[in-house]
Amino acid sequence: EEVQEAYTTQICSCCGEITSSSPKGSTDFGIREWECMSCGTAHDRDINSALNILALGHKRLAVGITLF
């Protein structure tokens, strides 16, 4: 199964918020680490994105995969 990776670098993998401190798309590509202003969690951009993609995959699997 595939998941949509859009905004996975911006969404805090701990609280789910997108704050003003989160990197915004390609304009903030140079920002590799950031801190969520909502919950205070420090993030590495790539690890945060991977955690969000993993959570999206688990969410889709929990709903179930339809048989063809």
Q: What is the DSSP letter of 25?
A: G
> CA–CA separation, 60 vs 51, rounded Å?
14
At 32 the pLDDT is 92
* Structural element, H or E, at residue 34: strand 33-35
Give the residue ranges of DSSP H helices in the chain. 45-63
Question: pTM, whole model, 2 decimals?
Answer: 0.81
Tokens standing for 20?
């003003």
3-state helix, strand, coil in the chain (%, to 5): 35, 10, 55
Position 14 pLDDT exceeds 80: yes
The chain-wide mean pLDDT, for the chain, equals 87
At 58 the pLDDT is 86
> Any idea where the domains of the chain sit in the sequence?
1-68
At 34 the pLDDT is 93
Q: Which amino acid is at 1?
A: E
Position 40 pLDDT exceeds 60: yes
